[in-house]
Amino acid sequence: MKMETTPTPIFAFVLLFLTSSIAAAGAEYFKYKDPKQPLNVRIDDLLSRMTLAEKIGQMAQIERKNASFEVIKNYFIGSVLSEGGSAPAPNASARVWVDMVNEIQKAALSSRLGIPVIYGIDAVHGHGTVYKATIFPHNIGLGATRDPALVKKIGAATALEVRATGIPYTFSPCIAVCRDPRWGRCYESFSEDPKVVQEMTEIIPGLQGDIPKNSLKGVPFVAGKTKIAACAKHYVGDGGTYMGINENNTIIDFHELLSIHMPPYYNAIIKGVSTVMVSYSSWNGVKMHANHFLLTDFLKNKLRFRGFIISDYEGVDRITTPPGINYTFSLQTGILAGIDMIMIPYDYPRYFDSFLELVHKNVIPISRINDAVRRILRVKFTMGLFENPFGDYSLANEIGKQEHRDLAREAVRKSLVLLKNGKTYSEPILPLPKKAKKILVAGSNADNLGYQCGGWTIEWQGLSGNNLTIGTTLLDAIKATVDPSTEVVFSENPDTYFIQSNDFSYAIVAIGEHSYAETFGDSLNLTIAEPGPSTIKNVCEHIKCVVVVISGRPVVIEPYVNIIDAIVAAWLPGTEGRGMTDVLFGDYGFTGKLPRTWFKSVDQLPMNVGDAHYDPLYPFGFGLTTEPVKTSY
């Protein structure tokens, strides 16, 4: 026989008290997961629960190829990246990207505290690693537009396309002030003039959203699920190295550092940039990754930057020469200098072993670790990763959508700089007539989408050819723009017999550079890639010609200027070639201004506006203008 009992009043009270206590304890335990709690309360609560291993894990960023479920969960990894060109599959769709990111995130959330990872990628001119993404002009072209509002829109479009692949963080913008075009990263710089670069930091609120009006200066801000965390790089002086050699030494005094290379960081921090990446370069012989004064005393304490500082790719390893010869020393030096997150990206077991050894030997104090982790958590909480850790499949159609391509096309036409228009001022050749009997299109860069996009497009170094992604070459754009009755003949490198045996009305010759990135782009001669010079001579000595220079920087053109009728600097315009024909054929006028000085000879370099020996072929800020025409017939 079953006996039923009724709880006594006192037992019921005790039961109610215990239940309430358990509930309260549970609520307290999840305080850091409660979005209603103040930010610092959440950070303090989570930090207080973390073990040393969990903190060290948060400071690690590994390459996605290593990001297995076990590694993420067992090492408490804080961040994952795609290195240049690293994708889950060739021509991967948005869904494939989101699947990958979400699997990584599931592993992180399955750990004891469930701290989400922050996934980062180099979306430096649009979401360049992703097939079909909109590829905008590289920064040097955007600098030529002098249009911060346009650049902000580009940041917002890029954020949407990056979020469409489940990724919430980009290693951009590069706010270097390139002072020597021999540097292989010069196209990643908006200008040689810090004031122009400062204006172009408007891309940061495009990527992240506008900071609230009452926000404290220096505090990171990301405005929800359609925005991404940005990264100002490479701190500091990377554009001023000796002879433009990548990762080399910037030899200037502190006043020059503050007046030339530091100003864009003031703007970036005021606009709430989430992270700052350290430069491989040195300042007066001291590696930036080891510079406590500039990382901690100045950036963190003087400028009151509250986001986190991230190393460059294996940047800590390169504190020593050769790199990695004494990793424990390098790790110690970098972290004590003020680096909060270490981009490893492969040998994470060595990182953990070395870090634990340094802590147990009391070399790295727990206060330095807590500062780093607090900054990382601040960014993660601020961007809403705890509430929305997973990628959103519904954003897939943002990638390469027409609205973004139209925006890129606008950026291209505003970035083109007209350097010469006619053998004499009274005989301009531009805009070109759309209706002509027969026109010649020539040059190695006229029908090569890879060269048109440049580095950081699908692959780290970029590619050659037209099968890398979806876009419109200059040749395609010309064919789509001219009158249907106009015959367009393409010959990459025509000889003089071919030219003389055809009755061409005029020629468009597109020459310039092949694709490159970083050190591979360092050049002491800055010559046009072969057979460009011979193509110019063969064509322009016989018929009227417009030379379109597709390059990441000024190149040597002085020897050919006299035989060319018109010269257009098109920079690295990206996927939307129609932006070039928009101005070549007069639908829009030329408005672009040189973001950097165009030299006569490399012997003049470095040469920047304001220098005593300033004697350019075309000065900083130069750019001829044309008026749009209703018809080009």
Alpha-carbon distance of 128 to 125, in angstroms, equals 6
pLDDT for 234 equals: 98
pLDDT at 14 over 70: no
Across the chain, mean pLDDT equals 95
Cα distances (Å, whole numbers) of residue 275 to 205, 325, 591: 13, 28, 34
Tell how far CA 194 is from the center of its chain. 18
**What is the pLDDT confidence band of residue 215, given thresholds at 50, 70 and 90?**
confident
Rounded to an integer, what distance in angstroms lies between the CA atom of residue 26 and that of residue 142?
Answer: 52
Asked, as a colleague might, if the bond just before 173 is cis with ω within 30 of 0, I would say yes
- Of 279, 350, 284, the C-alpha closest to 315 is 279
pLDDT at 15: 33
Residue 312 annotated as catalytic: yes
pLDDT, position 8: 37
Average pLDDT estimate for 434-461: 98
pLDDT digits (tens, 9 = 90+) for 232-261: 999 999 999 999 999 999 999 999 999 999
Q: What is the mean pLDDT of residues 572-597?
A: 98
Q: Which of 161, 312, 410, 565 is catalytic?
A: 312
DSSP string, 174-205: B--B---TTSTTGGGSSBSSHHHHHHHTTHHH
Q: Which pLDDT band holds residue 214 (cuts at 50, 70, 90)?
A: confident
The secondary structure of 141-179, three-state, reads HHHHHCCHHHHHHHHHHHHHHHHCCCCCEECCCECCECC
Would you say 337 and 292 are in contact if contact means Cβ atoms under 8 Å apart? yes
Q: How far, in Å, CA of 250 to CA of 355, rounded?
A: 30
CA distances 358 to 125, 153, 251, 310, 363, Å, are 39, 45, 32, 20, 5
Quickly count: other Cβ atoms within 10 Å of residue 584's Cβ: 29
* Cα gap 281→250, rounded to integer Å: 7
CB distance 307 to 275 below 8 Å: yes
- Phi then psi for residue 140, to 5 deg, are -60, -35
The pLDDT of residue 183: 98
Q: What is the pLDDT of residues 614-626, one digit of tens each?
A: 999 999 999 999 9
Specify the 3-state DSSP secondary structure of 21. Answer: helix
Local confidence band at 1 (pLDDT 50, 70, 90 cut-offs): very low
- Nearest-10 crossing angle of helices 402-415, 148-163: 150
Mean pLDDT for the stretch of residues 31-58 = 97
Tell me if 136 sits within 8 A of 142, measured CB to CB.
yes
What is the rounded CA–CA span in Å between residue 625 and residue 632? 17
pLDDT confidence of residue 29:
61
Among the residue ranges 16-30, 211-225, 419-433, 519-533, the one predicted with the least confidence is: 16-30
How many other CB atoms are there within 10 angstroms of residue 338's CB atom? 24
Q: pLDDT digit string (tens) for 117-136?
A: 999 999 999 999 999 999 99
pLDDT in tens, 294-317: 999 999 999 999 999 999 999 999
> What phi-psi label fits residue 118: left (phi over 0), alpha (psi between -120 and 50 degrees) or beta?
beta
Number of Cβ within 10 Å of residue 324's Cβ equals 14
Q: What is the pLDDT of residues 398-442, one digit of tens each?
A: 999 999 999 999 999 999 999 999 998 889 999 999 999 999 999
- To the query of whether residue 518 is one of the catalytic residues in this protein, the response is yes
Q: Residue 513 pLDDT > 60, yes or no? A: yes
User: What is the pLDDT at residue 425?
Assistant: 83
- What values do phi and psi take at 77, rounded to 5? -60, 135
* Residue 500 Cα to chain centre, angstroms: 45
CA distances from 297 to 196, 337, 374, 375 (A): 27, 9, 18, 16
C-alpha 175/C-alpha 172 separation (Å) is 8
pTM for this entry: 0.95
Q: Answer whether 470's CB lies under 8 Å from 568's CB.
A: no
- What's the pLDDT at 631? 59
DSSP H or E segment with residue 228: none
Q: Which residues contact 368 (CB under 8 A, 6 or more apart)?
A: 335, 336
The string over 113-126, giving b where at least 16 C-beta atoms fall within 10 Å of a residue's C-beta and e elsewhere, is eebbbbbbbbbbbb
**Percentage above 90 pLDDT, the chain:** 93
State the catalytic residue, choosing from 147, 314, 518, 565: 518
